[in-house]
Amino acid sequence: MEWNRSETIAVAKQTCVLCQGEGLRTTPMKGQQSPCNCVLRNIFRACFSRFKTCMTQERYMSKVTLENCTGKDGRRVWSRKHEDYIADFCLVSRRALDEHEYRIFRFHFLLGADWRLCCRRLDMDRGSFFHAVYRIQQKLGRVYRELEPFALFPLDEYFGGTVRKPLAVRSNLLVMPDPKRRSGSLEPPLREKKVA
């Protein structure tokens, strides 16, 4: 997955000293563009905010959607997007983090414990805890955006607002014949004859 400026500038922190609000910065070792840490943390925060919204809404508010599946059969599938998002958020986070990071993630983000309770429970000092939280946010922000085949971020794509697909060829377009394959002169298509 390749990051570009049009994706990162919208979620970049305007006062960031590393990227100056542009969202991309050049890596010193390879000289390539990579997303700034402020972008990755904001991606995590957006996904986490949607997770909290899905968790706190009433169960009767969830709606079932009918989705078209790509493939040779062209079937349709019923799904509950909010429940799917909750499950994906938890499972992807569990797979991406190691045991110690997941304990911090579970206590602080999933169970909602403040930093004092987390520090006491995990036997950490305040500075180490917040550095670990920032590393977790950066790591999960990258994972949520680079997840294949369906990423958790952007949220509108996950919940069915827009889907990035190649443009389909329209059937009502007239296509000019290839002059290299044609032996005679080139005759462009003219107005269609109306049959009465």
Q: What is the pLDDT of residues 30-70, one digit of tens each?
A: 777 888 889 999 999 999 999 999 888 877 766 777 777 66
Asked whether the predicted pLDDT for residue 182 surpasses 60, the reply is no
Mean pLDDT for the stretch of residues 151-174: 65
Average pLDDT, the chain: 81
Place of tokens 């169960």: 59
Return the residue matching tokens 């389909």.
168
Confidence (pLDDT) at 12: 87
Distance CA 65, CA 185 (A): 54
- Give the per-residue pLDDT at 172: 60
Least confident residue range of 22-31, 43-52, 91-100: 22-31
- Report whether pLDDT(184) > 80: no
Q: Can you tell me the mean pLDDT for 131-136? A: 95
**pTM above threshold 0.75:** no
Calpha distance 156→12 (Å, rounded): 18
Mean pLDDT of 58-83: 74
CA–chain centroid gap for 139, Å, is 14
Q: Is the pLDDT of residue 119 over 60?
A: yes
Six-digit token pair at 20?
């100056």
60 DSSP 8-state letter:
G
Query: What residue spans define the domains of the chain?
Result: 5-96+137-158
* 139 sits in which H/E element: helix 126-146
Helix (H, G, I), strand (E, B) or coil at 58: coil
pLDDT of residue 16: 86
pLDDT band (50, 70, 90) for residue 124? very high
pLDDT score for 134: 95
d(CA 194, CA 196): 6
Q: Which residue, 9, 43, 31, 21, is CA-closest to 146? A: 43
Give 136-159 pLDDT, tens digit per residue: 999 999 999 988 877 888 887 777
Q: How far apart are CA 38 and CA 4, in angstroms?
A: 15
